[in-house]
Structure 1
Amino acid sequence: MDIKWLEDFLSLAQTRNFSRTADDRHVTQSALSRRIRALEAWVGADLVDRSTYPLILTPAGKVFSNSASEAMRLLNDARAQLRVRGQDENLLRISAGHTLSLNFFPMWLNGIHAQAGDIHASIMPANVHDSVLSLVEGNCDLLLSYYHAELPVELDASRYAYVSLGSEVVLPVSVPNREGAPTYSLPGSKHHPIPCLTYIKASFFGRVLDRILSRSGQACYFTCAYESDMAELLKRMALTGHGLAWLPESSIVRELAEGRLVRAGGDQWSMTMDIRLYRSMDNKNTTLDRLWQHLLSR
């Protein structure tokens, strides 16, 4: 029996909807259905009445739900106690996207040390999906993430709190020509499309770019010259003149100041996002509480 089956079942018992639970659990609906079936096979009884909408728990499901809730509480309490004993009490495990890990986090942590004292941090770079899952499953203390109303982080507001740490602008840039103007500038034309260094569509910045293009109110003409899910790789390609790239401003502060990259489009081609730090309210780490109170007081 996989512990994830219990978590799936308890989420389903709360939402009473396979689709919503699949979204909450970051799995496909078919995968969720298979896991619930596997749990029922392990229990030896049907737990969910699928003949109604919204679905309801069977009598066996109601009994098992109480036992599963208590089992998960005991397991999580034991894990939390053992983790505290086995680690530096001053260490905070932080999950963050690669761009935030490289560019925002080091300067932010320096400021925290100066204002709130010595806090040890372990940074775990990951994509957005894995970072959120790490917080939900208790594998990190904090989640550092971008946020935009059109690209929300799906976390239960009653269980997870956040503070805003700043903002980030994603903007189009290019190497300059001899006159200092962008070599490649938006919007391009049908006869002269811009070579574009773009993101894989399934990535977070891929979705950011989709929103920028759909909101610009202007046609854009470009060809995909290179594709990646990492902004740092696109930055390197842009610096060597391979095309125009949309990059987070924090990753190109020096390059913009030195004139090695220049802005390649107006404000309609940019997007501003919030930078947020999330925590679980169930996490009782004393160092986390101290940091959180400091952040709230600012």
Structure 2
Amino acid sequence: MDIKWLDDFLSLAQTRNFSRSAEDRSVTQSALSRRIQSLEAWVGADLVDRSTYPLVLTPAGKMFSVAASEAMRLLNDARAMLRVQETSDQVLRVSAGHALSLNFFPGWLAGVQARIGPQAMLRARILPANVHDSVLSLIEGNCDLLLCYHHADLPIELDASRFEYVHLGDEVVMPVCTPNRAGSPAYSLPGSKAQPLPCLAYTATSYFGRVVQRIVSRIGQAGCFQNCYESDMAELLKTMALAGQGLAWLPESSIARELAEGKLVRAGSEQWTMKLEIRLFRARGNDKPMVDMLWNALQ
């Protein structure tokens, strides 16, 4: 059971309207409906009577709403207490996408530690999440820092009066695949209608999924490929690409070794790539000493 489902349900119990609750929860109405259905499956009973308008809670829903409200109160109280303890422990809470968590964050943190020196040890906790949940985590104060990708066409929109950022570097997302015996890409873009290329794709709602969609639409030349596998995690697509199952768009930091060793090669020219910024955000009101120390070192 996902704790977000409880917040979704309590919002719906208050608004009695899927559209209004979806807007409050910053999700689509269809996504909210699926999450409520998942919660009902977990509970084992219908919680919402969808035959009326406005909707009403079923008897089971009314009973469960009381328990859900109390559970969320206890959880929020415990979280508030732990936040105080965590602040005193001086731990940097960093929310980041899975690719950045695995491939960028460890080396970057080691570099910052070397710059600061041994007189102050950086203690960090990485919190991998998708873009939406990472941004929400920063806004709600559940993390100190947000590490994310940014592009003018796919911006991370945060209120500049409340949040500031530093530019840490750049990342190139490129199409790659295994080489053939001659060392050329086994699957080379754009492909042909007669022989469409097998593509290891991201889910449409993932950040990299939107990056690839933007690349293809920007080119104005339809690539002839068909999706044969789908995931929202770059590391899974990398594993499939290394197995020769198709081409995949992957961040360069995740495949630097494989490119150097010739295990993977580019499957398209520069026009099939996109350069992303790597940004680190923080709330301007966060006066945690370790955050200030890190920020001063970066600037």
Q: Is the shorter-chain TM-score for this pair beyond 0.5, marking a shared fold?
A: yes
Q: What is residue 257 of structure 2 aligned with on the other side?
A: 254
Q: What is residue 231 of structure 1 aligned with on the other side?
A: 234
Aligned equivalents of 2:261 and 2:179: distance in 1? 11
Deviations, residues 130-179 of structure 1 (Å, cap 9, x unaligned):
10010011000000000001111121111000000000000000100000
Aligned equivalents of 1:28 and 1:220: distance in 2? 29
Structure 2 counterparts to residues 274-293 of structure 1, below 5 A: 274-293=277-296
State the number of aligned residues: 235
Q: What is residue 150 of structure 1 aligned with on the other side?
A: 153
Contact 2:189 2:267 in 1 (8 A): yes
| CA-CA distance at 1:89 after TM superposition | 3.7
Aligned equivalents of 2:86 and 2:153: distance in 1? 40
Single out whichever of 114-123 and 249-258 deviates more from structure 2: 114-123
| CA-CA distance at 1:83 after TM superposition | 2.7
Deviations, residues 236-261 of structure 1 (Å, cap 9, x unaligned):
00000000110000000000000000
Q: Scaled by the length of structure 1, what TM-score is found?
A: 0.73
Structure 2 counterparts to residues 21-170 of structure 1, below 5 A: 22=23, 26-27=26-27, 79=80, 83-117=83-117, 118-170=121-173
Contact 2:112 2:297 in 1 (8 A): no
Counterpart amino acid of 2:198? P
Q: 1:119 to 1:244 in 2, by over 3 A?
A: same
Aligned equivalents of 1:82 and 1:264: distance in 2? 48
Q: 1:253 to 1:86 in 2, by over 3 A?
A: closer
Q: 1:282 to 1:28 in 2, by over 3 A?
A: farther
Deviation >6 Å, runs of 4+: none
Q: What is residue 38 of structure 2 aligned with on the other side?
A: none
Q: CA RMSD in A?
A: 2.6
Aligned equivalents of 1:264 and 1:148: distance in 2? 22
Q: Scaled by the length of structure 2, what TM-score is found?
A: 0.73
Aligned equivalents of 1:177 and 1:85: distance in 2? 55
Deviations, residues 179-212 of structure 1 (Å, cap 9, x unaligned):
0000000000010110110111011111001000
| CA-CA distance at 1:84 after TM superposition | 3.8
| CA-CA distance at 1:22 after TM superposition | 4.1
Contact 1:113 1:119 in 2 (8 A): yes
What percentage of residue pairs aligned between the two structures are identical?
A: 62
Segments of structure 2 that go 5 or more residues without pairing to the other structure are: 1-6, 12-18, 33-75
Q: Does 1:217 align with 2:220?
A: yes
Counterpart amino acid of 1:173? V
Aligned equivalents of 1:236 and 1:148: distance in 2? 26
